[in-house]
C-alpha cells in the first residue's frame, strides 16, 4: 500500500503529465485518490497542475471535509469524485480533464459510436448534462452505468473523466481515451478510397502502379 506521501507525490506527477500533454490548462481539471473508505486525497482548488507539490494535496473525509492542516481547499468537485468511488468500489483513482479531441466530442454531445477502433467501446461512454446535482450530490443512472462499465467517459458539454485502480492507470485511461478520440476524428475526415483497387488492377509495372495509386488518392482528397 502506498504511503500518504507517495500518494501526494504521485498525484503531483500525474498533474504535471496532464499539463505537459495539453490535457489540462491553467487551473482546470482535478485528480483524486481513494486511500480508505473515509480518506481521500485530491488536488487543491485554484492551483495549476504544473505547480503542484505534495504539501498542496488536500486530504478529505467521505463528506469532502478537510482532515489535515493543508492551507489549500479541495477541488470543488471532490463530492462528485467521492460519489463515483461509492458507486464502484474497485476504483481507486479519478481524473477529470479536458483533452482537446475527446472534450470536443463532449462539447458537441457526439458519442463515438462509429468508432474506428474497437477499444472505443471499452473506453468511451457519454453522460448527459445534469448527470450530477451539486446541491443534492445525486448522480444520474447514465453516469452510474459509465462508472461501472467504462474506463473513461465524456461529460456532455464540458469535459472527460477517467478511472483506474491506480493513479497511473487512471492517467493511462485518459491518455487512451484521447488517443482513440483523435483517431476517430482523423479517420472520419479521411475520404473513402473506393475505386483505387479497380484502378490499380488495370495498370502494369511497379512505376505505373505507384503513379496510378497516387493520382487516385489525390483525386479523392480533392473532392
* Per-residue pLDDT tens over the stretch 11-36: 999 999 999 999 999 999 999 999 99
DSSP letter at 22 equals: T
| Pairwise CA distance, residues 27 & 34, whole Å | 22
For residues 55-80, give the mean pLDDT: 95
| Pairwise CA distance, residues 49 & 11, whole Å | 9
- pLDDT tier for residue 117 given thresholds of 50, 70 and 90: low
| Pairwise CA distance, residues 123 & 143, whole Å | 14
- pLDDT tier for residue 2 given thresholds of 50, 70 and 90: very high
Identify the pLDDT of residue 220: 61
Same structural domain, 164 and 218? no
Same structural domain, 183 and 204? no
On the question of pLDDT at 200 being above 50, the answer is no
Report the mean per-residue pLDDT for the chain: 86
> Which residue, among 89, 92, 36, 90, has the nearest Cα to 67 in the 3D structure?
36
Same structural domain, 43 and 70? yes
Same structural domain, 167 and 199? no
Would you say 4 and 58 are in contact if contact means Cβ atoms under 8 Å apart? no
pTM for the model stands at 0.83
Same structural domain, 24 and 39? yes
For 115, the domain range is 4-189
Helix (H) and strand (E) counts for the chain? 8, 7
Mind listing the pLDDT tens digit for each residue in 129-162? 778 888 888 899 989 998 998 898 888 888 999 9
- Measured in Å, how far apart are the chain's first and last C-alpha atoms? 57
Total number of domains in the chain: 2
Where helices occur in 89-150 by DSSP H, the ranges are: 100-107, 119-123, 141-149
Residue 35, domain CATH: 3.40.225.10
| Pairwise CA distance, residues 125 & 141, whole Å | 13
Same structural domain, 26 and 108? yes
For residues 178-184, give the mean pLDDT: 87
For residues 101-123, give the mean pLDDT: 75
Grid coordinates in use for 77? 468537485
Give exposure, 34-57, as e/b (b: 16+ Cβ within 10 Å). Answer: bbeeebbbbbbeebbbeebeeebb
Amino acid at each position: 500500500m502506498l504511503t500518504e506521501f507517495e500518494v501526494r507525490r504521485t498525484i503531483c506527477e500525474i498533474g504535471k503529465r496532464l499539463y505537459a500533454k495539453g490535457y489540462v490548462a491553467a487551473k482546470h481539471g482535478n485528480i483524486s485518490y481513494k486511500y480508505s473508505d473515509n480518506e481521500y486525497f485530491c488536488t487543491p482548488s485554484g492551483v495549476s497542475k504544473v505547480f503542484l507539490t505534495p504539501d498542496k494535496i488536500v486530504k478529505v473525509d467521505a463528506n469532502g471535509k478537510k482532515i489535515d492542516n493543508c492551507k489549500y481547499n479541495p477541488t470543488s468537485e471532490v463530492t462528485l469524485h467521492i460519489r463515483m468511488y461509492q458507486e464502484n468500489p474497485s476504483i481507486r483513482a479519478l481524473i477529470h480533464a479536458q483533452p482537446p479531441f475527446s472534450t470536443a466530442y463532449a462539447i458537441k454531445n457526439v458519442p463515438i459510436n462509429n468508432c474506428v477502433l474497437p477499444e472505443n467501446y471499452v473506453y468511451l461512454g457519454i453522460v448527459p448534462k445534469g448527470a450530477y446535482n451539486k446541491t443534492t450530490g445525486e448522480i444520474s443512472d447514465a453516469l452510474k452505468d459509465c462508472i461501472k462499465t467504462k474506463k473513461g467517459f465524456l461529460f456532455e458539454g464540458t469535459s472527460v473523466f477517467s478511472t483506474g485502480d491506480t493513479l497511473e492507470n487512471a492517467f493511462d485511461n485518459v491518455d487512451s481515451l484521447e488517443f482513440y478520440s483523435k483517431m476517430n476524428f482523423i479517420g472520419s475526415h479521411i475520404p473513402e478510397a473506393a475505386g483505387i483497387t479497380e484502378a490499380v488492377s488495370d495498370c502494369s509495372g511497379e512505376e505505373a502502379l505507384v503513379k496510378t495509386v497516387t493520382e487516385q488518392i489525390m483525386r479523392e482528397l480533392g473532392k
